[in-house]
């Protein structure tokens, strides 16, 4: 069997002004050095993420902070691709917000759902300004027992850092839940901070930014878990590729992961 280095798409509009973006290279190095989880990482601007085949061959998708994105459509396309294809997905801060928005539109039937930062004049705002901005704040998050979030974090209470001013409109909680989205973490006031998608190999998002955890010399548990899920996805893809090469009855697995022309950063 041929073993491939997992390929992860870092979807976001990379900027030195976004602190979490500056942390990414060091976190990837820490994953390799401390956890022996080596990833082949590619930055994909949101304008490119919605193009046909943009995420072909990737073993994980990480939708990073940085809202408003240059292309809301590209960010939503990245979420939908990962959700529908069973590609491990992590959304942080704006990634959480757009994971909610994508689900509302494409699963819950709320075609008019919008992000309040992008469309403050529209009525059907699934993402709205927080009552109190969390920019630069730190707070406790209660994690629901028995969830993916608990398994990943290994605890039912965690202290996390934020840098956001928008969150979920609670008027839509019941509808999102009824269509299968699970909200597995909340702050002391019960406001949603973590979501996941049962039945998906790995689909997790947080309003807080795990990129800002600690001093940057060790990746947060959510980031380590995404890397582990990418390894598992790559192993499964490798097995399918090998089977196709040796079994004439096997189906074509699709685009070779090595055909991308994007520039790697790690």
Give per-residue pLDDT as tens, 128-153. 999 889 999 999 999 999 999 999 99
Count CB atoms within 10 A of the CB of residue 51: 11
Q: In Å, how far are 42, 99, 143, 167, 247 from 206, measured between CA atoms?
A: 21, 10, 11, 10, 42
d(CA 166, CA 191): 12
Identify the pLDDT of residue 241.
Answer: 52
Bridge-based pairing state of the strands 138-143 and 203-206? unpaired
**Closest by CA position to 226, among listed 191, 254, 196, 260:** 196
Compute φ and ψ for 186, nearest 5 degrees.
Answer: -145, 155
Inter-helix orientation angle 72-85/94-106, to 10°: 70
Count CA atoms closer than 13 A to 260's CA, side-chain side.
Answer: 22
**Closest by CA position to 195, among listed 43, 55, 92, 57:** 92
Q: What is the mean pLDDT of each successive set of 10 residues along the chain, which is 266 residues long?
A: 80 94 96 95 97 97 96 98 98 98 98 94 95 91 98 98 95 98 96 98 98 94 98 84 36 30 32
User: Do residues 42 and 266 make contact, with C-beta atoms less than 8 angstroms apart?
Assistant: no
């Amino acid at each position: 069997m041929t073993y491939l280095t997992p390929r992860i798409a870092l979807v976001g509009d990379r900027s030195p002004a976004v602190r979490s973006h500056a942390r990414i290279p060091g976190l990837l190095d820490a994953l390799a050095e401390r956890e022996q989880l080596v990833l082949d990482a590619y930055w994909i601007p949101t304008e490119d993420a919605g193009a046909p085949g943009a995420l072909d061959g990737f073993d994980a998708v990480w939708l990073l902070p940085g809202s408003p994105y240059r292309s809301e459509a590209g960010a939503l396309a990245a979420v939908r691709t990962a959700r529908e294809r069973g590609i491990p997905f992590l959304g942080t801060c704006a990634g959480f917000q757009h994971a909610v928005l994508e689900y509302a539109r494409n699963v819950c039937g709320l075609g008019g759902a919008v992000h309040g930062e992008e469309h403050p004049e529209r009525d059907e705002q699934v993402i709205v300004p927080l009552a109190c901005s969390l920019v630069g704040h730190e707070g406790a998050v209660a994690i629901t027992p028995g969830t993916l979030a608990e398994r990943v974090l290994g605890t039912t209470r965690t202290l996390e850092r934020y840098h956001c001013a928008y969150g979920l409109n609670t008027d839509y909680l019941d509808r999102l839940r009824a269509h299968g989205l699970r909200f597995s973490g909340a702050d002391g006031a019960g406001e949603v901070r973590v979501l996941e998608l049962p039945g998906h190999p790995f689909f997790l998002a947080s309003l807080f930014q795990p990129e800002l955890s600690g001093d940057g010399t060790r990746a947060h548990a959510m980031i380590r878990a995404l890397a582990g899920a990418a390894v598992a996805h790559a192993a499964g893809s490798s097995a399918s590729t090998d089977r196709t090469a040796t079994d004439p009855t096997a189906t074509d697995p699709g685009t070779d992961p090595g055909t991308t022309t994007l520039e790697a950063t790690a």
